Amino acid sequence: MSSSLLSLGISRAAHLLRSGEISSRDLTQACLEQIESLDGSLHAFLTLTTEEAFFRANRADFFLQQMRKGITPETTSPLLGIPLAIKDVLALSGVRCTCGSRMLETYIPPFTAHAVDKLLADGMVVLGKTNTDEFAMGSTTENSAFGPTRNPWDVARVPGGSSGGSAAAVAAGMAFGALGTDTGGSVRQPAAFCGITGLKPTYGRVSRWGLVAYGSSLDSVGCMARSAEDAALIYASIAGHDPRDSTSHEIPVPGFTPYAENSLKGLRIGLPQEYFLPGMQAEVENAIRSALAVFEKLGAEIVPVSLPHTEYALPAYYLLAPAEASANLARYDGTRYGINRPAAGYIEQFMSSRAAGFGPEVKRRIMLGTYALSAGYYDAYYARAQKARGLIRRDFDQAFQQVDVIAAPVAPTTAYLLGERNKDPLSMYLGDIFTLPANLAGIPAIAFPAGFDSNRLPVGIQLMGHAFAENTLLGMAHAYQQVTLWHRQMPGAANIPEETKEHGL
């Protein structure tokens, strides 16, 4: 019973909840049992909120019962009673929010992030907080101070990052969906590595209020689920204006409707030559080209486009994001929150607390950002990177005059082995080459499964759209998922060995 429950999509589960065939308590129980049996090995969760989950499940079951009696409860959202997970960089009042860092190991936020609040108002059952690279800085989840998450398709491999905990939880059936965040690809790349669907919305589409800041002009709260249809339900809940985030847009969020008969006739997909590089894994390129053939059969037209400044996205991002991080993380001084290492003077305490609280990647990015912003180097690095960002954005503007969306790989390879890249930061950064441009341009992008490599590791494809084109991206991914089965594959529990629980929950 419980394993069949875990493979349900959100909309199917919502249907069964309404008819009374299953209860939210059943779903919650099944997810928690799956976590109990697999998470000792995968380590997707940093904190479980079991009591809160059952409280919310019981409440949802009561609302569902009211609905069956013809009474309209507080919410009738399709998310009512659905168990979801939250990346541990988004605040949930009263539950510790670590950001994968020793710095915030015991930090208990007294407020709830806007996106989490919206899901709670829609009746979500919150299962817990998921593992992340420290302060979302990383591409493998190995930078978590609390130990890495492992990929459910092969536990010797990384799930991607930084939203690797959310991706692994959704892929392994421990949650029906999750929130992640995407500053340079941190929703899309782990979605691709774990074989799920991940949407990074337009910058400003989802409020950042209550999200612990990393790169404020790049950070986006995103949706992770096992299908585009499910991601659309989460997106519909969290998108929209919030006066507490001054970069939040007031443009209304249209409801998602699939393309009639999944016909993509009249849609033009741009294929940028700059995203197919020598040295990328051949199986990744083959999977993308096969997926494009499917899109052609669905009626879309493939058009070559050029994004000539693509190669500058990586150097621009790795100056701008650290620059913003160095400013944002200046708040951790050991005074108001976070780890405190007492010292004789204020500055000494500031420095010793940060030395104790931050891990190597965070220190590296703070150092890099401080350098890029320092007097004498500002024009050579930060200002130049900002200008390059403008050119990258202009490339997209020009391409979107010819096409509706742009197709590309999510990453040049499938999931790496643990430890394979984390000794050399630059080689790690190079893996982000296809996801960074969307963040620099502020545009939405979706990653979804498009095949497997010869090691049976998932391969993801990415569609990028112009600002506010989320529904086009979701609709196209949904149409693709109506005629393919890649997204329906789940890693068997057989892939995941039992392991002693080395990471206490």
Least separation in angstroms between CB 388 and another protein? 5
**Residue from 335, 398, 402, 455 that binds another protein (CB under 8 A)?**
335
Q: What are the tokens at 127?
A: 């299962």
Q: For another protein, which is the closer residue by CB, 32 or 145?
A: 145
The per-residue b/e assignment along 455-467, b for 16 or more CB within 10 angstroms, e otherwise, is eebbbbbbbbbbb
Using rule CB under 8 A, residue 252 touches another protein:
no
90 vs 64, 127, 181, CA distance in Å? 28, 14, 9
Using rule CB under 8 A, residue 387 touches another protein:
yes
Q: For another protein, which is the closer residue by CB, 87 or 389?
A: 389
Q: What whole-number distance in Å separates Cα of residue 359 and Cα of residue 266?
A: 50
* Residue 76 identity: T
Residues 209-238 that bind another protein (CB under 8 A): 217
Q: What whole-number distance in Å separates Cα of residue 354 and Cα of residue 326?
A: 12
Q: What whole-number distance in Å separates Cα of residue 165 and Cα of residue 153?
A: 14
Using rule CB under 8 A, residue 334 touches another protein:
yes
Least separation in angstroms between CB 206 and another protein? 14
Q: What are the tokens at 254?
A: 């249209």
Q: Which stretch binds another protein (CB under 8 A): 19-27, 54-62, 222-230, 342-350?
A: 342-350
Q: What whole-number distance in Å separates Cα of residue 102 and Cα of residue 107?
A: 10
The kind and range of the H/E element at 45 are strand 45-48
Q: What whole-number distance in Å separates Cα of residue 425 and Cα of residue 430?
A: 9
The kind and range of the H/E element at 194 are helix 188-194
Least separation in angstroms between CB 257 and another protein? 26
The site for another protein, by CB under 8 A, has a size of 70
**Residue from 11, 66, 76, 247 that binds another protein (CB under 8 A)?**
247
Contact 103, 358 (CB under 8 A): yes
Least separation in angstroms between CB 475 and another protein? 24
Residues 425-454 that bind another protein (CB under 8 A): 425-426, 429, 441-442
Q: Which stretch binds another protein (CB under 8 A): 9-17, 104-112, 119-127, 450-458?
A: 104-112
Using rule CB under 8 A, residue 240 touches another protein:
no
Residues 295-314 that bind another protein (CB under 8 A): 309, 311-312, 314
DSSP for 212-233, written as a single string: PPSSTTT-EEEEEESSHHHHHH
Which residues have a catalytic role annotated?
87, 162, 186
The kind and range of the H/E element at 225 are strand 220-225
Residues 6 or more apart whose CB falls under 8 angstroms from that of 65 comprise 20
- Binding footprint of another protein on the chain (CB under 8 A): 106-108, 110-111, 203-204, 217, 243, 246-247, 250, 309, 311-312, 314-316, 318-319, 326, 330, 333-338, 340, 342-352, 354-355, 358, 360, 363-364, 366-368, 370-371, 374, 380-381, 383-391, 393, 425-426, 429, 441-442, 467
